[in-house]
Structure 1
Amino acid sequence: MPTPSAPPTARRTQPPATAVPVEIEAHPVQFTGSGREYFRVWIVNVLLSILTLGFYTPWARRRTAQYFYGHTLVAHSPLEFTAPQKRMVFGFVVLVVLTLAYQIAVNTGQDTAVALFLVAGAALAPLLWGSAMRFRLSATRWRGLRLQFVASWREVYRASWPVFALALVWIGVTYGLDALTPPVPEGAGGAGAPKMPEFTPAMGGLLLLGLALSVLCAIRMEYNYKSLLVMQSRLGTEPGRWKPQYMDFVRIWAATVGVFLLGLLVVSALVAALVGGSLAPLKSMGGGATLIIVFLIIALLVLGFFLMLLASAPARAYREARMFQLMWDNIGLSQVARFKCRLNAWRFVRLRMKNLLFTLLTLGFYRPFARVNEYRMKADSVTLHIKGGVDQVTGVLVRQQQGGVGDAMADAVGLDLV
C-alpha cells in the first residue's frame, strides 16, 4: 500500500538563494608629475608666448593639459587630452578678433556698437559656455572611453537664466536710482560748478539690494552650470549623478565672505600698525619730513594693494577647496561608480599661502611648482569607487560607446572658447 504523501504545508521548501553581493573596488586617484618636469613645459610656453605676442597660447594650453592629464592616473590608467590643435587655434583667433573689435569700438566712441557688443555677449555667453564644455569633455579620454556633454541648447539657455536675471536687476537699480534721486536746488553748485545730487539712504539701500541679488544670481549660475555639466555628461551611455543642493553653494559662499572679512581685518590691523610705527619718528623732524611722508604714503598705498591681494588669497583658496570637496564627494556615474574626496580646506589654504609667498620671492619662477603642488593635493584626495571591477565595467562602457553615435557627434561640435 503506497505511503500517502505529506500535505503541502508539511513539505520542506528550499531556502531562497541569496544574492551575491557585487564587489566595490576603491581606486585612489594619483598624480605622478613633478614641479621640475612641469617647469620645463611652463618655461617653454612662457618664452614662446612672449616671442609670438601671445599667439602661442593655444599650443601652450594644449601642452599644459596633456601634461596634467597624462600624469593623472584613474584606476591606474592615465587620462588623455586629445583636442585637435586646429580647433583650439580657431577658437583662440575668434576670441582675439572679437576682443579687438570691441576695443576699437570703445576707443573710437562708437556707443551703439559697444551696446550691441554687450547685448550680443550676454545673449551668446550660454552658447560659448556650452560649446566649450562639449569641446573639453569630448577631448577627454580614459581607457579608450570618451566623455560627452549631451545637453541641448535649450537646456543650456534654461540653466543660464541668472545671466538675464542679473541684467534685469541692474536695469531696475538704474531706473530706481533715477526715481529716488532728489532734485538739485537752483544754484546749489555755485557759478560754473557741477551740481551733484544728494545721495540718500534709500539710494544706498537700493544699491545694497542690487549687490545682494547679484551675488545670489552668481551663486545660482554656478550651481546651474555645474549641475547641468555633471547630469548631462555621459561615459558610454551612463549619465552622471549629482547630489549637491543650491543651499550647499550658498553656505560655501557665506563662509568664504567670512574668511575674506577676517583676512581683511588682519591686513587692516597690520597696515595701521605699520603706518603708526613709520610716522612716529617723523613727528620730531618738523617741516623737513613732508617730502618723506609723501613718499611713505605712496609706498604704503602700493603695499596696501598687494596686502589686499594677500587678504583675498585665503578666501579664494578656501572657496576653491570647499567647492572641489563638495563636487567630488557628491558626484558619480549612474549606479556604476562614485567618487569620494577627503580634501581639507585649511590645509589647501596654507599650501596656497606658502606657494604665493615663494612665487613672490622668486619673481614668479616658483609658479609651476606651486601649480603642481596644488593639483597634486586635490587629485590625491579623490578616490574612485567602482561597482563590479574596472575591467568588467570598462568593457561594458566600451560596447555602449561603439554602439552609439555620440563619439562622431562630439567631433562635430564645440570649440575651445572659454
Structure 2
Amino acid sequence: MSSIHSGGAAVRQVDPESREEGFAFTASGSEYFRIWIVNLFLSVVTLGIYTAWAKVRRNQYFYANTRLAGGGFEYHAKPLTILKGRIVMMVLFGAYALAGKVSPMLGLGILLVIWAVMPWLLWKSLQFALYNSSYRGIRFSFKGSAKEAYLYFLVLPLLGVLTLGLLYPFAHQRLKRFQHTSSHFGTMPFSFDARVGSFYKAYLGLFAVWVAAGVTTTIVLTSIVEMPALGMLMWVPMILYPFFICSALVFATLLQNLIWNHTQLGGHAFRSTMRGKEVIWIYLTNALGIICTLGLFIPFATVRLMKYRLESTSLVVNGSLDDIVAGERMHVSPLGDGAADLADFDLAL
C-alpha cells in the first residue's frame, strides 16, 4: 500500500489485492438499557463499590458486540483489579479534599503529589486497557515506558501551557504518536505517521473560526441594538455558546479522522470517515432524548454514538486477515509476563 500527500494530508492508494473490512457494532439500546439500569441500581446501593463490576459488564457487552471481518473482541479485566485501582484514586483525591480543609499548604502538597504521579497512573491505565482487550483470542499490549509517559503526559502539555497554547498541537501530535506506536496486536506494532503540521492546521482552523464568530457577533449586536458594554459581554457568550459547541464537535471529528487515517497495523491501514454534521445531529438528538426522559435515554444515546463511531471506521487489509491472526497467535504467549500487577486507574473519578 502506498500514499501520496495533498495539502499536508495523506491520501492513501489502496493496493488492488487489499480489501476494506468495516467494523460492525450489533449492540442495541434496549439490551444495554437492562445492563445499565441494573449497574446503576447496584452501584447506588453499594455506595459505588459495584462500579468496578458494572464497568466489566458494560465493556464485555460492548466488546462482544463489536465485530471485524467476522471476528469478535473480548474484554478480560477482573472487577477486583479495577476496584483496587479505584480505591487508590479515591484515597488520593480524598486526601486532597481533606488536606485542603485542614491547611491550604497541605492541600497544595497533596495536589503536587497527584500531579507528579498522574503520568504513571495514565501509563498503567493504558497497559491495563490494552492487555485486557483481545481480538480473535490475541491480546493487545502497550510497550511504552514510564519515562516516555512523563514526557508526553506531563512535560509537553506543561510546555503547551507555558507557551500559551502555541506548543499544544505539537504536544498533541507527539502524544498520539506515543500512544499508537507503543501499542501492539500480539507482536505486530501499530504505527502513526500524521505530521505536526496537520495538527496545527486543525487547531488554527478552530481558533480562526471562533475568533471570526466572536468578532462578527459583536459587530452585528452593536449595529442593531444599543446596550451597555456589560450587557454586551453577557449576550455575546450566550449567543455563541451553541456555535462553539458545534464547532468543537466538528473539530473533534476532524481530529478523529486525522488520527485514524494515519494509523497503521503492520502493513494494514485504518480509515475513518466520520462527518461533522452527523456527529452534531447525534449529540443534539441524544441530549434532547436524555433531557426528555430524565436520563433514561442515556444507554440508547451511548449505543447510538458508539455505533456511528465504530461503523465509520474500517481496516484496509493487505492480504488475508486470517493469516495475520494465525501468525500472531504463534508468538503471543510471552505477552502475559509481568501483567499481574496491572491495575485500572479510572481517571474519570
Q: TM-score, normalised by structure 1?
A: 0.69
Q: Deviations over 1:282-322 (max 9, x none)?
A: xxxxxxxxxxxxxxx9xxx9x99998764543133223322
1:38 Cα deviation from its structure 2 partner: 1.2
Q: Does 1:409 align with 2:341?
A: no
CA contact (8 A) 2:89 2:345 kept: no
CA contact (8 A) 2:77 2:132 kept: yes
2:3 alignment partner in structure 1: none
Taking the aligned partners of 1:263 and 1:36, their CA distance within structure 2 comes to: 40
Q: Does 1:329 align with 2:290?
A: no
CA contact (8 A) 1:27 1:383 kept: yes
Letter in 2 for 1:246: V
Aligned residues: 324
CA contact (8 A) 1:256 1:318 kept: no
Taking the aligned partners of 1:353 and 1:64, their CA distance within structure 2 comes to: 24
Matches within 5 A, 1:60-71: 60-71=54-65
1:228 alignment partner in structure 2: 178
Bigger radius of gyration among the two:
1
1:56 Cα deviation from its structure 2 partner: 2.5
2:96 alignment partner in structure 1: 102
Q: Of the candidates 71, 87, 104, which is equivalent to residue 111 of structure 1?
A: 104
1:180 alignment partner in structure 2: none
1:207 alignment partner in structure 2: none
Taking the aligned partners of 2:95 and 2:32, their CA distance within structure 1 comes to: 35
Letter in 1 for 2:195: Q
Secondary structure at 1:215's aligned position in 2?
coil
Q: Deviations over 1:130-168 (max 9, x none)?
A: 11100000011001111110112222223232244357x
Structure having the larger proportion of residues in strand? 2
Q: TM-score, normalised by structure 2?
A: 0.82
1:117 Cα deviation from its structure 2 partner: 1.7
CA contact (8 A) 1:231 1:242 kept: yes
CA contact (8 A) 1:321 1:344 kept: yes
Q: Does 1:156 align with 2:149?
A: yes
Matches within 5 A, 1:108-147: 108=102, 110-147=103-140
Secondary structure at 1:338's aligned position in 2?
strand
Q: Does 1:252 align with 2:202?
A: yes
1:71 Cα deviation from its structure 2 partner: 0.8
Letter in 2 for 1:416: F
Letter in 2 for 1:415: D
Q: Deviations over 1:69-98 (max 9, x none)?
A: 111101111211111211100011111111
Q: Deviations over 1:221-245 (max 9, x none)?
A: 4322221111011112221110112
1:338 alignment partner in structure 2: 269
CA contact (8 A) 2:85 2:343 kept: no
- Check 1:104–1:263 CA distance in 2 against 1; reply closer, same or farther (3 A cut): farther
Letter in 2 for 1:316: A
After superposing the two structures, state which structure 1 stretch, 323-332 or 137-146, moved more.
Answer: 323-332
Q: Of the candidates 77, 80, 95, which is equivalent to residue 83 of structure 1?
A: 77
Q: Deviations over 1:207-233 (max 9, x none)?
A: xxxxxx343354444322221111011
Q: Does 1:356 align with 2:287?
A: yes
Letter in 2 for 1:135: F
Letter in 1 for 2:272: C
Letter in 2 for 1:64: R
Secondary structure at 1:39's aligned position in 2?
helix
CA contact (8 A) 1:24 1:387 kept: yes
CA contact (8 A) 1:23 1:387 kept: yes
Percent sequence identity over matched residues?
A: 24
Taking the aligned partners of 1:267 and 1:87, their CA distance within structure 2 comes to: 52
Letter in 1 for 2:308: M
Taking the aligned partners of 1:255 and 1:367, their CA distance within structure 2 comes to: 32
- Check 1:310–1:70 CA distance in 2 against 1; reply closer, same or farther (3 A cut): farther
Question: Unpaired segments of 5 or more residues in structure 2?
Answer: 1-14, 226-230
Matches within 5 A, 1:241-280: 241-257=191-207
CA contact (8 A) 2:56 2:78 kept: no
